[in-house]
Amino acid sequence: MEYDIAAIIQGYAQGYFLMADDYGGLGWYGSRDRTLIPLDDRFRYPKSLQRVLNQERFTVAINRDFPAVVAGCANRETTWISGELKEIYQLLYQHGYAFSFETWQGDELAGGILGIAIAGAFIGESMFYRIPEGSKVAMVKLVERLRQKQFVLFDAQMMNPHLARFGAYRIRDKEYQALLQKALKSPCNFK
């Protein structure tokens, strides 16, 4: 199947995101409120994670094994990442929009975050871990990178207890759209 990459990026740039439904059909979704990961001093994490970071058990990589991160994110009992969406992520990766931000322990993939970067907006699609703390370390290191690259927005889409531990917060769609437009005017480069 052929996909229109420009149209897909335009959909994300308008604040929508792709998800497969329970029957595998792919569609665009929006939300009345969005969950953001703070890129300022509101970002936080558990003290126990600081010990893990100090031990330097994990190394960080970008796109070292993009397909494995997509597979890891999709590998759950119920997933919204269908086979078709995996193909789309692969195409977005090939066109320089989709990224896997990974943690490694030696030669083993420990965890990762799958996301789409458009100008100064990073849209987190999913995360997973194979080794405890792998995805948490990826989150801390990803926020460091987004700050360094002067990103405006880290969109986590939907709140969950795991994200709340990092200071994630909700904003109304109107605020989100204004922040997204500001982010899209910021000439950031994730890589």
Does residue 98 form part of some domain? yes
Instruction: For residue 89, give the H/E element and its range.
Output: helix 83-94
Residue 189 lies in a domain: no
Domain residue limits at 145: 5-184
| CATH code of the domain containing 57 | 3.40.630.70
Tokens at 8, concatenated: 């897909």
Within 10 A of 108 (CB to CB), how many other CB atoms are there?
10
pTM: 0.95
Residue 190 lies in a domain: no
d(CA 104, CA 96): 22
Number of domains in the chain: 1
pLDDT at 140: 97
And the tokens for 171? Answer: 């904003």
The pLDDT profile of the chain, 191 residues, written as one tens digit per residue, is: 689 999 999 999 999 999 998 887 899 999 999 999 999 999 999 889 999 999 999 999 999 999 999 999 999 888 889 999 999 999 999 999 999 999 999 999 999 999 999 999 999 999 999 999 999 999 999 999 999 999 999 999 999 998 999 999 999 999 999 999 999 999 999 98
Q: What is the pLDDT of residue 117?
A: 98
Q: Give the number of other Cβ atoms within 10 Å of residue 121's Cβ.
A: 25
How many helices (H) does the chain have, and how many strands (E)?
Answer: 7, 9
State CA 55 to chain mean position distance: 25
pLDDT of res. 76: 87
Q: DSSP secondary structure string, 99-166?
A: EEEEEEETTEEEEEEEEEEETTEEEEEEEEESSTTHHHHHHHHHHHHHHHTT-SEEEEES--HHHHTT
Residue 125 covered by a domain:
yes
